[in-house]
Amino acid sequence: MDPLEALNKAGVSIWLDDLSRTRLAGGGLAELVADRHVVGVTSNPTIFAKAIPGSDVYDEQIRQLALRGVDVDTALRELTTYDVRWACDVLRPAYDASDGVDGRVSIEVDPRLAHDTERTIAEVATLWWLVDRPNLFVKIPATKQGLPAISECLAQGISINVTLTFSLARYAEVVEAFLAGLERAAAAGRPLSDIASVASFFVSRVDTEVDKRLDKIGTAATIALRGSAAIANARLAYQHHEQVLRSERWRELARAGARPQRPLWASTGVKEPSYSDTRYVTELVAPGVVSTMPEATLRAVADHAVVPVDSVRDTYDDAQRVLDSLAAVGVDYDDVVRTLEDEGVAKFTDSWEQLREQLAEILRRRLSVVS
């Protein structure tokens, strides 16, 4: 069986972790949907920072934005929401065919707002209104300040992708924010079946940070633990997901029409050359999850992955032993995940600021040509 089809049959939704107008205009996204079982798309500030300055397909819209004299933040919203709206239309058949489960496209709030609850809520509402597609996800980072924004936006009926989740404790808080938001939506009389959410749990970055610390300790015991943290961490997150689905609190929401918040495996591209290039996909196969992949990982999976029926359930004891072993050799889990969250927000903010500066310069040049 085609490995991508095998993933699909195992209950894993395949999403592409990339978006650009070049891919949209050239039909590349449509081809992946037609031929590679892709049923969703995620974007982030780093993806747009690579896409917009490096392609002339944005030139005409940028020329119009310059003529209108808009500021750089308005220009960024219009450029990115145009691409996301287009991608939503490409994925709309998958959305309809899955009754709204898949066919989703994600856009992230300005990463500079990651620690500002009220402005995040306002930005989410603006992006929801600008894209104006039912198969949109707006991404909110899983910072402490992001948690109340998640609940509030879900309560307003906005579908949310919670991003930058690294720790099991924070994942539990994300799930709590999801449940609380749906309960508030139900109390307000909103149809719960119209509201969807995924929780993006980051994978490979965990191994990158933990391996660095293991290498620094440098004993035989620590070397043996390299590459074990990320998969164990994600598997225990899925265990929590299963526990929530068995709770009476969830069952009451489900009876009212609610859809589960699906775990989404993010950062599945392998950064360590000695590791299998498909490990963060094939080692995290379980029903009802999303695996979002950069195109290189997607093609590697299609080419040579061996996909199990399930590689997550029945692994929870072993996964906990991995985290216990890491603690025993001196790896501070709480410090690891705190570092990763801070770095994740900082990296996206840096990408966004770089894109703002580049776009501001392009707008200035265009305006001077027009003048």
The strand pairing partners of 200, in sequence order, are 264
pLDDT of residue 1: 80
283 close to 5: Cβ distance less than 8 angstroms = no
pLDDT of residue 247: 98
The DSSP element (H or E) to which 274 belongs, if any, is none
pLDDT of residue 370: 54
Provide the annotated active-site residues: 139
Residue 38 identity: V
pTM for the model: 0.96
pLDDT of residue 54: 77
Please report, for residues 149, 165, 204, 216, the alpha-carbon distance to residue 153 in angstroms, rounded to integers and kept in the order given. 6, 18, 29, 42
H helices present in 199-332, as ranges: 204-217, 220-223, 229-245, 248-255, 279-282, 295-304, 316-328
Helix, strand or coil, per DSSP, at residue 317: helix
The strand pairing partners of 350, in sequence order, are none
pLDDT of residue 366: 78
As to burial, measured by CB atoms within 10 angstroms (0-12 exposed, 13-18 middle, 19+ buried), residue 34 is exposed
Helix, strand or coil, per DSSP, at residue 201: strand
Can you tell me the distance from the alpha carbon of 337 to that of 150, in angstroms, rounded to the nearest whole number? 20
- Which residues are within 8 A (CB) of 277 and not within 5 positions of it... i.e. 6 or more apart? 270, 296, 297, 300
Residues with pLDDT less than 50, the chain: none
For residue range 90-147, what is the model confidence (pLDDT) as tens digits?
Answer: 999 999 999 999 999 999 999 999 999 999 999 999 999 999 999 999 999 999 999 9
Can you tell me the distance from the alpha carbon of 306 to that of 3, in angstroms, rounded to the nearest whole number? 7
Can you tell me the distance from the alpha carbon of 160 to that of 290, in angstroms, rounded to the nearest whole number? 14
pLDDT of residue 369: 61
